[in-house]
Structure 1
Amino acid sequence: MERKIITLNIGRPNLHRWNGMTVNSAIRKKLVEEVMLTKEGFIGDAVANREFHGGPDRAVCLYPYEHYEFWEKEFNKPLESPAFGENICVQNMLEKDVYIGDIFSLGKAIVQVTQGRIPCAAISKHNDVDQLLRRVVETGFTGYLFRVIEEGIVDIDSNFELIDRKQEKFSVLTGNHLMFHDRKNRKAIEEFIQLEELAEDWKTKFTKALNH
């Protein structure tokens, strides 16, 4: 199965005027042919709010290509990648088929899945679809994030090649379900946060949920 890159995208925060408000966001990224991937992310890429975005556990954001057709049908509106502010839009890497801890080669780099993406309101505002954020959370079609194990050049012709799969119980979609819809499931959460490869931010969030 070929995990083919559809778009490769980088961008820095800019001020956007949405519904009469000025918001600083990096959601509006631009297509590139080739870019260097470092431990902190792609050169030339940045985030506006480091509390929720960016950092070593969230160096790369991927959004599955197949979801575009799903959303276009639901909202009867064309969407063009990177509509979700993703660095990489890829075929054949749905949340249900990718697991926390999966290690992939990507061009000359090596990356590891750390968590699902927690989307923000910029997704709805950028695409001018009020219900998009709510539906992304409901479906778990959020995309997901990677840490960088080995830095290297990535180009538009690079493919994701699975190198190692640490476990097959917690897919990204399963993790998203726990995060957004099943925060009372103590047994599953206690097992989930034992995953060494899970992003530290998610471990912290789930640990707090257990203690309340």
Structure 2
Amino acid sequence: MAIVGQKRYDIEGIQVGQPITIHANGKEIKTAINKRRIYEPVYLNRLNFEGDGQGDLVHHGGYDKAICVFPYDHYDYFEQFLGVPLQEAAFGENLTVHQLVETKVCIGDVFQLGEALVEVSQPRQPCVKLSLKHGNMKLVKEVQQTGYTGFYLRVLKEGMVSPDEPLVLVEKASHQITVHEVNEVKYHQADPQRLKAVLEVEALADAVRKSLEKRIHHI
């Protein structure tokens, strides 16, 4: 990795939420996608911000998915797509950030977040709960097709985080594999070379790696 200058990305908000049970399509679904903004400093541990939780621990949460990040830059696009104004944490994210979009951030980039250190681990994989939240079953596919997925951070060092502190890039990955590139090989046709390049990234989350390793045998 390369040590870089103090590139800062402003945070629109930090959000947390605990699981609740909702009813959809005749089923009970446990979800923590509805999050509230916090305005006081909060402790970030290896698994999440204090006060945050996950409804489905099989597909959400864990060390590689400690923080869900979504770029505020995409809100305008999805307001047009959904036809309504979007509220805070509209995508169930913990961090809403400015200018840190999927084409810029690489798997393995390391950021200072308050006292904590965090590392980009994988794209966010949208699930049906996002569509249910907005009452539009086409939303998940639109997120996948556009690549406007957001991404996850793992926590390298725990610490206190204040909502008014920026996300500061401290180490840039030595490769060029962005979150966008991982989305491309995951959701679109990928040639073996592109797929192998993604799989060579050491910081890539194990769950994503295993999923892509299965794909490589079918190309």
Rounded Cα–Cα distance in structure 1 between residues aligned with 2:146 and 2:97: 18
Runs (4+) off by over 4 Å: none
Q: Matched residue pairs, number?
A: 211
Determine whether 1:187 maps to 2:182: no
Partner of 1:71: 78
3-state SS of paired residue (1:188): helix
Structure 1 counterpart of 2:211, from 202, 205, 209: 205
Structure 1 counterpart of 2:146, from 128, 139, 143: 139
Partner of 1:103: 110
- Answer yes or no: is the 8 Å Cα contact 2:8–2:169 preserved in 1: no
Partner of 1:116: 123
Determine whether 1:130 maps to 2:137: yes
Q: CA RMSD in A?
A: 1.4
Q: 1:36-51 alignment to 2 at 5 Å?
A: 36-51=43-58
- Answer yes or no: is the 8 Å Cα contact 2:69–2:94 preserved in 1: yes
Rounded Cα–Cα distance in structure 1 between residues aligned with 2:102 and 2:142: 15
Rounded Cα–Cα distance in structure 2 between residues aligned with 1:83 and 1:129: 13
Cα deviation per residue 1:40-72 (whole Å; 9 max; x = unaligned)?
111121112222111111111000001111111
- Answer yes or no: is the 8 Å Cα contact 1:11–1:27 preserved in 2: yes
Q: Give 1:74 deviation, angstroms.
A: 2.3
Cα deviation per residue 1:110-163 (whole Å; 9 max; x = unaligned)?
100010011101111101222211100110101000110110111110101110
For 1:106, give the aligned amino acid: L
3-state SS of paired residue (2:103): helix
- Answer yes or no: is the 8 Å Cα contact 1:59–1:145 preserved in 2: yes
Rounded Cα–Cα distance in structure 1 between residues aligned with 2:210 and 2:61: 16
Rounded Cα–Cα distance in structure 2 between residues aligned with 1:175 and 1:78: 29
- Which stretch of structure 1 is more off in the superposition, 68-77 or 16-25? 16-25
3-state SS of paired residue (2:56): coil
Normalising by structure 2, what TM-score? 0.92
For 2:195, give the aligned amino acid: I
Rounded Cα–Cα distance in structure 2 between residues aligned with 1:64 and 1:191: 25
Normalising by structure 1, what TM-score? 0.95
Determine whether 1:87 maps to 2:121: no
Identity %: 33
Cα deviation per residue 1:15-37 (whole Å; 9 max; x = unaligned)?
01234432111101111122111
For 1:138, give the aligned amino acid: Q
Give 5+ residue unaligned stretches, structure 2. 1-6
Q: Give 1:77 deviation, angstroms.
A: 0.9
Rounded Cα–Cα distance in structure 1 between residues aligned with 2:150 and 2:49: 17
Q: Give 1:38 deviation, angstroms.
A: 0.7
